[in-house]
C-alpha cells in the first residue's frame, strides 16, 4: 500500500499509474472537508488558473513535446484532456468541469485506489506528497521543519466573461497566422483605446496581499498590470500583440486582446494572458474599456494567490525522492516545476519511480534529451537562484548544432526525445 497525499493533477497521475500496475493506493485529500483559497470544486484535478494546457505542437513547442511524451507513458491527464478538449487553435484547452469529472470518475472507479478525505498534518516517512502550490497549515510547517523550509511566489489567474455579453460587432475571429479553425475571439484596439486602457490598468487599485507573505512574482504568471507598468508598448509585444492577426478587412490592428473558450459549450471565455491582482470592481471598470467588453458580464474575476515550492536542489533527487529517504517522493508544483502539464508530468514520474521502489527495482530517470527528463534534472541541480521552471527547449541536452533552421532543429529534438521516451517506457514496463 502506498499513500499519495493530494488529489490534484500530480497526485491523481501518481495514484492512477500505481493502481494500473497493481499497487494498492490510499489517495488522501482534504476535499471536501476543507479547501484552499483557490479551490472551489469537490472534484479532483481541479484546474484553477486557466483552462489551457498550452501548445499541442509536438515538434514546434517544448510543452507540446512534453504532452506527447506523457501520452506515450499512459498519462491520465492527457486522456482527460482529449475527452474534454475545446477548440483553441494550436493549443490544447479543455472544458475544466468535464476534465476534472473525467479524472475523478477514473480515480473513484479504480478498485486499487482508496480515496480518503483527510487533512494531513505530518510529513510521512513513505509515499508521495503532491499537496500542490498552496500547501499550508500544519503540513507546511512540518515540511518546513524537516526539509529546511519552502520558497514561494505569486500566481495569478485571468477573468472569465459570458459569451453572450461580448460585443461581436467589435471583434473578429481567427487564430494567429491562420492556424487552427478560428477558435479565438479577437478584440482589437486602436492606438488611442490601447493607450487609455494601459494608463487605467497601471493606475487601477490592486487587491491587498497579506503583509507576511513575500511578494515574489514568477515571470510565467506575471499579472497584466505589472507587465503594463514596464512600458506602454510592453503589452503590444506580449499579451496584446497583433502579429499574425488580421480583421475582416485584412488589416492588422494596433493591439489585440484574445478571448479563448472556457468550456465546450462556448458560453464563457477567458481573457488570454490577463492574469491580474486588481480589485474586482477595478477589473470590471478597466477591462470594460476594451470596446468588445464594454458590456461584459464577468463570470469570474481574476485572483492572485501564493504558490509554495521547495528549494528542491537542496532536498530532492532527480527521481523526485527526498535526499536521505528514497521511500518518500514529492510531485507537482511544490517541486519547482511550473504549469499544469509539468505538474502532471512530475506526478506521473513520481508514480513510476515509487512503483519501481515498491517492487525492489532501482529508479531510472528519463534522459535529459526528453523534456520530462530534463525537468527532472533541473529541480535537482544545484542552483543558488532556483525558481520554478516551465517546459522549454533550453533545459534539453544540446544537440544538432549544425542545423541552423529553427523549425528543423526542433523537429530533430522532438524525434530524439520521443525515441528516448520509447526506450524509457519499455524499461519501466519490464
Q: What is the pLDDT of residue 216?
A: 59
Q: What is the pLDDT of residue 430?
A: 80
Peptide bond before residue 122 is cis, with ω within 30 degrees of 0 = no
pLDDT by position in tens, the chain (length 430): 999 999 999 999 999 999 999 999 999 999 888 877 667 788 999 988 788 899 999 999 999 999 999 999 999 999 999 999 998 888 899 999 999 999 999 999 999 999 999 999 999 999 999 998 888 789 988 998 898 766 677 677 899 999 989 999 999 999 888 777 778 999 999 999 999 999 999 999 998 755 434 455 666 678 999 999 999 999 999 999 999 999 888 899 999 999 999 877 788 899 999 999 999 999 999 999 999 999 999 988 888 777 788 999 999 999 999 999 999 999 999 999 988 999 999 999 999 999 999 999 999 999 999 999 999 999 999 988 788 888 989 889 988 989 999 899 999 999 999 999 999 999 998 8
How far apart CA 2 and CA 334 sit, in angstroms, is 20
What is the CB-side half-sphere exposure of residue 255 using CA atoms within 13 A? Answer: 23
What is the CB-side half-sphere exposure of residue 146 using CA atoms within 13 A? Answer: 17
How far apart CA 69 and CA 273 sit, in angstroms, is 26
pTM as predicted: 0.81
How far apart CA 292 and CA 19 sit, in angstroms, is 48
Tell me, rounded to whole angstroms, the distance of Cα 352 from its chain centroid.
21
Identify any residues that bridge with 389 across adjacent strands, giving them in sequence order.
337
- Please report how the helices 406-429 and 340-358 are oriented relative to each other, as an axis angle in degrees rounded to 10: 30
Antiparallel, parallel or unpaired: β 2-5 and 127-129: parallel
User: Based on the number of CB atoms within 10 Å of its own CB, is 401 exposed (0-12), middle (13-18) or buried (19 or more)?
Assistant: exposed
How far apart CA 300 and CA 41 sit, in angstroms, is 14
Question: 3-state DSSP call for residue 226?
Answer: helix
Q: What is the pLDDT of residue 213?
A: 41
Domain 2-153+308-429 belongs in CATH node 3.50.50.60: yes
Q: Which three cell numbers stand for residue 347?
A: 506526478
All CATH 3.50.50.60 domain ranges of the chain, comma separated, are: 2-153+308-429
Identify any residues that bridge with 4 across adjacent strands, giving them in sequence order.
27, 128
Q: Which CATH number applies to 160-302?
A: 2.40.30.260
Question: Using alpha carbons only, how large is the chain's radius of gyration in Å?
Answer: 22
Q: At a CB cut-off of 8 Å and minimum separation 6, what does 76 contact?
A: 12, 13, 16, 17, 103, 106, 344, 348
Helix (H) or strand (E) holding 221: none
Helix (H) or strand (E) holding 117: strand 113-117
All CATH 2.40.30.260 domain ranges of the chain, comma separated, are: 160-302
Amino acid at each position: 500500500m502506498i499513500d499519495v497525499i493530494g488529489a490534484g493533477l500530480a497526485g491523481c497521475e501518481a495514484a492512477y499509474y500505481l493502481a494500473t500496475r497493481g499497487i494498492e493506493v490510499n489517495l488522501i485529500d482534504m476535499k471536501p472537508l476543507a479547501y484552499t483559497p483557490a479551490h472551489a470544486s469537490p472534484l479532483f484535478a481541479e484546474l484553477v488558473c486557466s483552462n489551457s494546457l498550452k501548445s499541442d505542437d509536438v515538434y514546434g513547442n517544448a510543452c507540446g513535446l512534453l504532452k506527447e511524451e506523457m501520452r506515450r507513458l499512459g498519462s491520465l491527464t492527457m486522456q482527460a484532456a482529449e475527452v474534454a478538449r475545446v477548440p483553441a487553435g494550436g493549443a490544447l484547452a479543455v472544458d475544466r468541469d468535464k476534465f476534472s469529472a473525467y479524472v475523478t470518475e477514473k480515480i473513484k472507479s479504480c478498485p486499487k485506489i482508496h480515496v480518503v478525505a483527510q487533512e494531513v498534518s505530518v510529513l510521512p516517512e513513505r509515499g508521495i506528497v503532491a499537496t500542490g502550490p498552496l500547501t499550508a497549515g500544519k503540513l507546511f510547517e512540518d515540511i518546513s521543519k524537516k526539509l529546511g523550509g519552502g520558497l514561494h511566489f505569486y500566481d495569478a489567474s485571468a477573468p472569465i466573461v459570458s459569451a453572450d455579453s461580448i460585443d461581436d460587432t467589435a471583434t473578429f475571429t481567427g487564430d494567429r497566422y491562420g492556424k487552427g479553425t478560428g477558435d479565438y475571439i479577437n478584440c482589437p484596439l486602436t492606438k488611442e483605446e490601447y493607450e487609455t486602457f494601459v494608463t487605467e490598468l497601471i493606475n487601477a487599485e490592486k487587491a491587498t496581499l497579506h503583509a507576511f507573505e513575500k511578494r515574489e512574482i514568477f515571470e510565467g504568471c506575471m499579472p497584466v498590470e505589472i507587465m503594463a507598468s514596464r512600458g506602454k508598448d510592453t503589452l503590444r509585444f506580449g499579451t496584446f500583440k497583433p502579429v499574425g492577426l488580421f480583421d475582416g478587412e485584412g488589416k492588422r490592428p494596433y493591439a489585440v486582446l484574445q478571448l479563448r473558450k472556457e468550456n465546450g459549450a462556448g458560453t464563457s471565455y477567458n481573457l488570454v494572458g490577463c492574469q491580474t491582482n486588481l480589485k474586482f470592481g477595478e477589473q470590471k471598470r478597466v477591462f470594460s474599456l476594451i470596446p468588445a467588453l464594454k458590456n461584459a458580464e464577468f463570470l469570474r474575476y481574476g485572483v492572485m494567490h501564493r504558490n509554495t515550492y521547495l528549494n528542491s536542489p537542496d532536498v530532492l533527487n532527480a527521481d523526485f525522492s527526498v535526499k536521505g529517504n528514497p521511500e518518500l517522493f514529492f510531485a507537482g508544483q511544490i517541486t519547482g516545476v511550473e504549469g499544469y502539464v509539468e505538474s502532471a508530468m512530475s506526478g506521473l514520474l513520481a508514480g513510476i519511480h515509487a512503483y519501481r521502489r515498491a517492487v525492489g527495482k532501482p529508479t531510472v530517470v528519463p534522459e535529459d534529451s526528453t523534456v520530462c527528463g530534463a525537468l527532472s534534472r533541473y529541480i535537482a541541480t544545484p542552483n543558488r537562484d532556483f525558481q520554478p521552471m516551465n517546459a522549454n527547449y533550453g533545459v534539453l541536452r544540446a544537440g544538432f548544432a549544425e542545423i541552423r533552421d529553427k523549425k528543423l532543429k526542433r523537429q530533430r529534438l522532438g524525434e530524439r526525445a520521443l525515441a528516448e521516451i520509447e526506450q524509457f517506457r519499455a524499461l519501466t514496463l519490464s
